[in-house]
Chains A and B, each alone.
Chain A
Amino acid sequence: MLDFFMGHYAYWFTMILLSVGLYGMLLKKNLVKKTIGLSIFQAGVILFFVSVAMKEGATVPVKADGLPVSEVANYMNALPHTLMLTAIVVGVATLGVAYALLIKIYNRYGTLNEEELLDKIQ
């Protein structure tokens, strides 16, 4: 049982991050906190990709002397990391748009609390 937890600890970590993010988005009333939850959720996905690229006993994907490239076990997989660079950029852009919308909402209603906001809308 312990092996099952220890052997997959990166995945448990991802799941905890995803749950924390979802909790923030669903239950927090402040819209900024919802945005933070969103950011944590995305970070969970990004860390999942980074963790699957990990290999024990392998080095960074830069060609080194004495480590033949044909032996793939010598090097970590570089592709998930490069993909996640793009995903991080997407996440930053999403946060930018979210905060721009929050500024608009605050200017129009004077609050960022969801309950007060819904009261004012009605």
Chain B
Amino acid sequence: MIGSEIPALIPVTYILFAILIPLIGLWKREIVWHLSLLGTGIASFLSAWGFLHLINTGETIRYYFGGWTPPVGIEFVYDGLAAFIVLVINTIAFLVLIHSKEISKLEFPGKKMPYYTIAMLMMLGFNGMVLTGDLFNLYVFLEISSLSSYALIAIGEKRAPYASFRYLIIGTVGGSLYLLGVGFLYTVTGTLNIIDMHAMLPQVIGHSSVVAALILMVIGVGVKAALFPLHGWLPDSYTFASSSSSALIAPIGTKVAAYILFRVVLFLFGVDLIDDQLPVTTIIGIFAGIGILYGSIMAIAQSEMKKMLAYSSVSQIGYIIMGISQANPFGFIGAVLHVLNHALMKALLFLVSGSLRSKEGHSLITKFNNSYRKKYPWTMAAFTTAAISMVGLPPLAGFFSKWYLALGTIENSNWILLAVILISSLLNAVYFFRILEKVYLNDPEEELTEDTEIIENNEVGFTMMFPMAVMALGLLVVGIFNAYIVNIIFTMFPAGF
């Protein structure tokens, strides 16, 4: 039965294509794009199938590599949360890679083969991080995905290598701190398996190594997730990378890091155990709240669309981490739902900025004007959908995750964070509606000349429009069928909720 092999098959698909693309790319350069689509397509199909299989049977699949049972061997744990995240990231990667066909011709001509190879390696790393049940194995996958994303970010504008180098320094320190935390935990428990360690931790709790390990791991993963004071690498990296790199990394990279935070805080330690020792959830809640406001305010100050979206990412990752910090079922649902919603919204917004760059050669908000709605009617419609969803108006998806996050803060009587959610929604409205205003309303100061130039429809091609349309529809579908999704998320709770 292939169902039980799914956790291993998804990363193996990416390894296979990471090898196939350079080999076949030497012989036939033009088909690397098709190959990368085939790879991500197979992985998305497998993860969708596995997800449905998991919902129907309700059984967590634990895949033991080489037949070695844990804690001796390494295992992949395919539970509800992992299956959900894997499905989200693979589908987003598939859609973004469809869009990358035109971008790759414009922004990095002749470098398609290395680009797609590295993209496959990065997806291997992210899938491995989500699936693995072993803390050291997680570090290895973390570094695989990080090294590939440094390389992907470096493919871009003139400043991209320097932005990437800064990310490399900060990211590697984060990874090393995480590894040091794992070392502390290993010395007191003698195991690296997450499930095994979760069972052992109550016996050694109170040991100073455990507290130190917790702090080191949260800081290490926080760097990767761009939690507020550790976000310094993010804006430059996302701005100067090529459009399809940032569309690939922005929705996936920080989400996977937030998922690791889920694993560490809720599954490995467990909320009760943590708050016994150290008010970690309160502290990351405060930082997440500051990050939400800081990201939104900085986004308003930007005049370049990609940089605005990058700061908006800092703010949105704050929502997810705030959901974890509430440590109640509503906060958990809100955070998991926001992983899905934000991945869709941010991918869509970065794709729109990529499409505009491919047609206009820039994405400066100050140069936007109302000719865009005639030139790119469908692109702007997709942008509007994403913008409204980011602000959080029903029935689009963004409303529901904010709703559950707000319920989570109410349940904890945490009124300050509730105020943060509401204020940041208003700030989101400020920075998205100023673009909508430029695009859809006539400039009152401009004289109404009748017929200076006839604006022609200059819509982007099918390979660019299709993924944007799918994501915009996806936002609507996720919003409307949100009750079903929440029911599924209910089955993913960690033990003890």
Contact = CB atoms under 8 A, between A and B. Distances in A.
A34 B183 CA distance: 25
A87 B154 contact: no
Interface stretch (B168-176, B335-343, B438-446): B168-176
A94 B168 contact: yes
Nearest to B181: A45
B183 A117 contact: no
A108 interface: yes
Given A41-B176, A42-B176, A108-B161, A97 B168 contact: yes
B176 A98 contact: no
A38 B172 contact: yes
Interface string A42-84: 1001001100100000000000000000000000000010010
Interface string A30-41: 010011001001
A83 B136 contact: yes
21 contacts: A25-B169, A25-B173, A34-B169, A42-B176, A52-B183, A52-B186, A80-B183, A87-B179, A90-B143, A93-B147, A94-B143, A94-B172, A97-B168, A98-B165, A98-B169, A101-B150, A101-B154, A101-B164, A101-B168, A104-B161, A105-B165
A45 B183 contact: yes
A48 B161 CA distance: 32
A52 B150 contact: no
A80 B165 CA distance: 30
Given A90-B143, A101-B161, 13 more contacts: A41-B176, A42-B176, A45-B180, A52-B183, A52-B186, A83-B136, A87-B139, A93-B143, A94-B147, A97-B151, A100-B151, A108-B158, A108-B161
Contacts of B151: 97, 100
Contacts of B139: 87, 90
Contacts of A20: none
Contacts of B136: 83, 86
B172 A42 contact: yes
Nearest to B136: A83
B272 to A, nearest CB: 28
A49 B183 CA distance: 6
Contacts of B176: 41-42, 45
A97 B150 contact: yes
Interface in B125-177: 136, 139-140, 143, 147, 150-151, 154, 158-159, 161-162, 164-165, 168-169, 172-173, 176
A48 B168 contact: no
A1 interface: no
B150 A38 contact: no
Interface residues of B, number: 24
B187 interface: yes
Contacts of A6: none
Nearest to B165: A101
By CB atoms of chain A within 10 A, which of B154, B161, B169, B176 has the most? Answer: B176
Contacts of A109: 162
A86 B136 CA distance: 10
B154 A104 contact: yes
B365 to A, nearest CB: 21
B147 A48 contact: no
Contacts of A87: 139, 179
Given A45-B179, A48-B180, A80-B186, A105 B168 contact: no
Contacts of A121: 159, 162
Q: Which 4 pairs of residues, A with B, have the shortest CB-CB distance?
A: A104-B161, A90-B143, A101-B165, A105-B161
A62 B172 CA distance: 34
Contacts of A48: 180, 183
Contacts of B164: 101
Contacts of A25: 169, 173
A21 to B, nearest CB: 8
By CB atoms of chain A within 10 A, which of B172, B173, B186 has the most? Answer: B172
A109 B180 CA distance: 36
A52 B187 contact: yes
Contacts of A35: 169
Contacts of A102: 165
Nearest to B173: A41
A101 B168 CA distance: 9
Contacts of A94: 143, 147, 168, 172
B150 to A, nearest CB: 5
B164 to A, nearest CB: 6
Contacts of A93: 143, 147
B191 to A, nearest CB: 10
Contacts of A22: 173
A97 B122 CA distance: 14
Nearest to B164: A101
Nearest to A104: B161
B162 A98 contact: no
